Structure formats: structure tokens, C-alpha cells
Homo-oligomer: A and B are copies of this chain.
Amino acid sequence: MIEDSIENNTHLPLLQFATPKVMAASEIYIPEGKIFKKIFYIKKGILRNFFVTKSGEEKTIFFRWEGQIVAIPECIFDNQPTRQTWQALEDCELMEIDFDLVEKLSENNISLIKTRLELAQKMLLEALKRVESFVLDKPEERYQKLIREKPEIIKRVADKHIASFIGVTPVSLSRIRKRLASQKK
């Protein structure tokens, strides 16, 4: 666990140090500018993180859902304030773990470090796949892949968030959907 997220069960021993946290849908969990030195496990619900552009638009970068571990990389790795906002998209149940504690426990616990390494690697693979898709695929293909690979998740999330996730405007995603629907006929 720890790096940023990704399903993984080998971290469960850490949960004994966790504090439960409940959030209602649409609540802001972590505001921009905070140095958030906790990691959290999502027991239930979906969250998104987004940037606010100069013109005030919210651009969603990631979704995280039940079973995943999340950390804010810039806070955890670099002790920097986050430039992103985290928001619950559904009622959520989280388990928070203080990251300084994780660091301390990792000090001489090789299996914990290995678990962290594994998670970092998984997250890296995920991020690289995403980069790949931006280079290789058109927005339309990215949307189709998303439908294919994460159907349950995208059903639970508003299209406008999906749109920025694949790098287009909501209007453009709507046109993509229309094109795809007409092609099927």
C-alpha cells in the first residue's frame, strides 16, 4: 500500500492502525493546498481528484474506488502541498493511516517496504498504460477502452468527469457517444 492506490490485500496488517472516516457524496475530502500526510484505504465508495484550471474548470485526473489504497504522491513523496482536490462522488467509508507511522514501521520491516514497492510498481504500470493510451489512441478509442475495461466504474461516475479523464470536453464526449451509437446500427 501507500504509493497512491491500486487494489492490494497484503497491506491489511496496517489496517490495525487505521482510523475510520465517513463521507457523504460530493463532500470535499482533501482541499487543494494541503500537505496531506495520510494514506487511506477505501472500504466503500468512489472518489475523484481534480485540478482547477485558471478559467475555473475542474479537470478530473483519477478515480479511486473500494478496495484501493490512496496517497497523494506529492505530499507523501515530496512533502509538498497538493495542487489537486479530492472529492467523494458517493457516500464513502475510508480507513486513514498516518503516513509518518507507516514510515516508522517501514524502517526495519523489509516486508512492509516490499509491499510498498509492489504497490508503487502496480501504480506505475497503470500510469504508463494511461500515457500509452494518450499517445496511441484517439479520444474515441480511449472511451471505448474505458467502457470495456471498467464498465462498473464509469456507470457510477458522471460523464463530465469521464470526459476530462480521457482528455476531452463534455460536449465532445457527448458527440463521441452519438457517433458510436449510430455506428452500431
Q: Is A154 an interface residue (CB 8 A)?
A: no
The one of B116, B120, B121, B131 that contacts A61, using a Cβ cutoff of 8 Å: B131
Interface size on A, residues (CB 8 A): 34
Q: Which residue of B lies closest to A77 (CB)?
A: B121
Contact B4–A124 (Cβ < 8 Å): yes
- With A and B bound together, what is the CA distance between A60 and B135 in angstroms? 8
Asked if A114 CB lies within 8 Å of chain B CBs, one says yes
Q: Measured between alpha carbons, how far is A180 from B78 in the docked complex, in Å?
A: 34
CB distance from A37 to the nearest CB of B (A): 15
Task: Let me know if A134 and B134 touch, CB within 8 A.
Answer: yes
- For A4, list chain B residues within 8 Å (CB): 124, 128
Contacting residues of chain A (120-140) with chain B, CB-CB under 8 angstroms: 120-125, 127-128, 130-132, 134-136
* Cβ contacts under 8 Å, A123 to chain B: 124
> Does any Cβ of B come within 8 Å of A53's Cβ?
yes
CA distance A167 to B135 in the complex (A): 5
The answer for the CA separation of A103 and B137 in the assembled complex, in Å, is 35
Quick one: given A113-B110, A116-B117, A120-B117, are A73 and B125 in contact (CB under 8 Å)?
yes
6 new A-B pairs (CB below 8 Å) besides A73-B124, A120-B121? Answer: A51-B132, A61-B135, A73-B121, A127-B127, A131-B131, A135-B165
